[in-house]
């Protein structure tokens, strides 16, 4: 990616308008009912819109044929509040390229830890097996089951604005979930052949084909990593991942979406993660370029980046319930800060809402590079901070040989938190002082006295639309689209509509999928 100069010739336009890393904190779990305390400047969202149904689902007559060995297993029917569905279980290994078609009244089930292809290794080229999923398909699972595209194989789950693809839990199908349900199945995993650091093999050179990183939460070894930064693990667009994050053991947890060494050839856009009991999304190494990400209700970090990932994100909504850790946690490789590639993440046009007291909204450590522009960082809790930087290494001056761009950069952001910064000492490293961290978010177009006017927990109001100055995102990379406002969503272009589902504190209004607590029922014709 094009680096932003830390001397900040950052080209603001004055416009009238505008991981879980090696030392990750364990997820807090559910623990009963949670009361949300809303700030009076951000009124409670409306009641979630019910699923629009004109009639109950009737089960499909049978399971379609796929080319993978064993095919789909017809497991009979399952009944929930939206009707009765035919259940077709996938084989545990998809050994031939296959397509899951949309069929009214049919659900696909993950019967365990389901692999797309077999690991082709870090040095392989080409692709072996692709699993394609059609718009409108619903895949569900329970327990430790998850879906993983292994190295050299692909998952193409491409929904549409009016028919997203939904990965969810059995309890969601049965209508048993509430606002605080989580940890009901594993999640979605992409394993690729792009460089990673923090190698499993002793003595392996970081970023080389010998350097592999092991997937967290896998009962059997599963690895990502290689040398192809442009590797392609598939395509995810217009996708919901609900009630995931199954905990296998202490510090051994699955996320909503996890990537390990996925390359820049992988396409991920328009993705919503709902109530993961660990991180909403976590990216280990590789290259990630993503637009239109929504993470709601993650019980650890909403967005976690680690072990050398090169990430660019634009139009991001991170919204907590009254549980959770950081909104963004970033690391490069704790204890191995100068391994290359160094984690370097840029976020533009984000709306980040914290509701959990204690931990900071943005927690940056491990010598990573980090940039946030044109964003809203909002804390509705009573005693936490916008920013925490854990170690002196992260504040080090630029060093080209070590791929180090220098201290984190913040430009043209609105900060509204009980306390702006905190000392982030970790181990024997005292880290920067709160004053040193505060200097990063003072000036450069930032407003530390900002008051949000968000509507329904996500949509820009007058203070976001009229915010000045606006950072010129073309100074960052050609990946970013020019905007004239801070925050994730302008009322003039509400990209959330149609493909999302609603929860109590994040309500997108009417749409095709309604409440996240139930399944959508689509019209009989496509």
Contact criterion met (CB below 8 Å) for 137 and 477: no
CA geometry: angle 221, 226, 229, nearest 5 deg: 130
Q: Which residues of 32-47 are buried (b: 16+ CB within 10 A; e: fewer)?
A: eeeeeeebeebeebee
Pairing of strands 223-224, 213-214: antiparallel
- Copy the structure tokens of residue 321: 């319930």
| 52 assigned to some structural domain | no
| 206 assigned to some structural domain | yes
Average pLDDT estimate for 45-61: 63
Contact criterion met (CB below 8 Å) for 388 and 360: yes
pLDDT category of residue 36 using cuts at 50, 70 and 90: very low
pLDDT category of residue 268 using cuts at 50, 70 and 90: very high
pLDDT in tens, 454-513: 999 999 999 999 999 999 999 999 999 999 999 999 999 999 999 999 999 999 987 778
Distance between CA atoms of 302 and 222, rounded to whole angstroms?
23
pLDDT category of residue 283 using cuts at 50, 70 and 90: very high
DSSP symbols for 342-408: PPEEEEEEEEEEE--SSS-SEEE-TT-EEEEES-EEEE-SSS-EEEEE--GGGGPPPBGGGTB--S-
pLDDT of 247 strictly over 80: no
**Which backbone phi and psi does 437 adopt, to 5 degrees?**
-65, -40
| 504 assigned to some structural domain | no
Instruction: Provide the residue range defining the domain that includes 399.
Output: 12-26+93-475
Contact criterion met (CB below 8 Å) for 269 and 237: yes
Distance between CA atoms of 439 and 447, rounded to whole angstroms?
12
DSSP symbols for 103-121: -TTEEEEE-SEEEES----
Give residues with Cβ within 8 angstroms of 443, minimum separation 6.
none
Distance between CA atoms of 266 and 110, rounded to whole angstroms?
23
Contact criterion met (CB below 8 Å) for 311 and 345: yes
Average pLDDT estimate for 337-341: 92
Q: Which residues of 492-506 are buried (b: 16+ CB within 10 A; e: fewer)?
A: eeebbebbbbbbbbb
Q: What is the pLDDT of residue 55?
A: 66
Helical (H) or strand (E) element with 173: helix 170-174
pLDDT of 6 strictly over 50: no
Q: What is the pLDDT of residue 19?
A: 35
Q: What is the pLDDT of residue 218?
A: 67
Contact criterion met (CB below 8 Å) for 127 and 152: yes
Residue 347 CA to chain centroid, in angstroms?
A: 13
What is the overall mean pLDDT for the chain? 88
| 487 assigned to some structural domain | no
Q: How many CB atoms lie within 10 A of CB 59?
A: 18
How many residues does the structure list for the chain? 526
Q: How many CB atoms lie within 10 A of CB 393?
A: 18
Q: Alpha carbon of 483 to those of 15, 486, 490: distances in Å?
A: 11, 8, 9
pLDDT in tens, 84-136: 999 999 999 999 999 999 999 999 999 999 999 999 999 999 889 999 999 99
Sign of CA dihedral 205, 207, 211, 213: positive
Regarding pTM above 0.85, the answer is yes
pLDDT category of residue 250 using cuts at 50, 70 and 90: low
- Copy the structure tokens of residue 510: 């009417």
| 222 assigned to some structural domain | yes
Share of the chain above pLDDT 90, in %: 77
Q: What is the pLDDT of residue 38?
A: 38
Q: How many CB atoms lie within 10 A of CB 19?
A: 30
pLDDT category of residue 525 using cuts at 50, 70 and 90: low
Number of separate domains in the chain = 1
Q: What is the pLDDT of residue 358?
A: 82
DSSP state of 456: T
């Amino acid at each position: 990616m094009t680096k932003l100069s830390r001397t900040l010739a950052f080209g603001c336009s004055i416009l009238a308008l505008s991981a879980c890393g090696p030392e990750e904190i364990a997820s807090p779990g559910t623990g009963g009912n949670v009361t949300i305390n809303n700030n009076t400047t951000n009124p409670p969202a409306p009641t979630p819109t019910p699923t629009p149904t004109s009639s109950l689902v009737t089960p499909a007559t049978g399971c379609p044929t796929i080319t993978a060995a064993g095919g789909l297993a017809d497991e009979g029917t399952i009944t929930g509040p939206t009707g009765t569905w035919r259940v077709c279980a996938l084989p545990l290994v998809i050994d031939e390229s296959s397509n899951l078609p949309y069929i009214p009244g049919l659900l696909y089930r993950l019967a365990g830890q389901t692999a797309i292809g077999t690991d082709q290794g870090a040095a392989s080229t080409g692709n072996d097996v692709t699993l394609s999923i059609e718009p409108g398909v619903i895949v569900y699972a329970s327990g430790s089951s998850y879906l993983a595209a292994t190295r050299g194989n692909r998952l193409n789950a491409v929904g549409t604005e009016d028919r997203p693809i939904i990965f969810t839990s059995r309890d969601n199908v049965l209508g048993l979930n509430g606002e605080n349900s989580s940890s009901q199945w594993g999640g979605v995993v992409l394993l690729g052949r792009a460089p990673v650091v923090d190698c499993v093999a002793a003595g392996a050179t970081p970023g080389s084909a010998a350097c592999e990183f092991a997937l967290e939460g896998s009962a059997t070894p599963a690895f990502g990593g290689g040398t192809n930064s442009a590797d392609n693990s598939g395509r995810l667009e217009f996708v919901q991942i609900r009630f995931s994050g199954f905990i296998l053991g202490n510090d051994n947890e699955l996320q909503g979406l996890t990537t390990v060494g996925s390359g820049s050839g992988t396409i991920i856009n328009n993705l919503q993660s709902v109530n993961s009991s660990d991180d909403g999304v976590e990216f280990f190494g590789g290259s990630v370029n993503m637009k239109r990400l929504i993470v709601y209700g993650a019980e650890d970090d909403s967005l976690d980046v680690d072990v050398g990932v090169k990430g660019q994100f634009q139009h991001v909504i991170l919204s907590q319930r009254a549980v959770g850790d950081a909104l963004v946690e970033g690391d490069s490789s704790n204890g191995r800060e100068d391994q290359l590639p160094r984690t370097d993440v840029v976020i533009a046009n984000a709306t980040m809402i914290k509701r959990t007291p204690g931990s900071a909204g943005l927690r940056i450590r491990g010598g990573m590079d980090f940039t946030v522009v044109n964003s809203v960082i909002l804390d509705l809790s009573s005693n936490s901070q916008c920013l925490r930087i854990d170690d002196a290494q992260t504040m080090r001056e630029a060093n080209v040989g070590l791929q180090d761009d220098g201290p984190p950069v913040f430009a043209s952001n609105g900060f509204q938190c009980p306390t702006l910064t905190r000392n982030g000492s970790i181990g024997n490293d005292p880290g920067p002082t709160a004053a040193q961290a505060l200097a990063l978010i003072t000036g450069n177009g930032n407003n530390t006295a900002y008051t949000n006017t968000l509507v329904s927990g996500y949509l820009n109001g007058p203070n976001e639309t009229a915010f000045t100055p606006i950072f010129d995102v073309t100074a960052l990379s050609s990946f970013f689209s020019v905007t004239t406002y801070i925050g994730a969503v302008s009322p003039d272009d509400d990209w959330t509509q149609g493909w999302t589902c609603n929860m109590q504190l994040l309500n997108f209004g009417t749409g095709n999928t309604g409440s996240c607590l139930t399944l959508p029922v689509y019209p009989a014709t496509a």
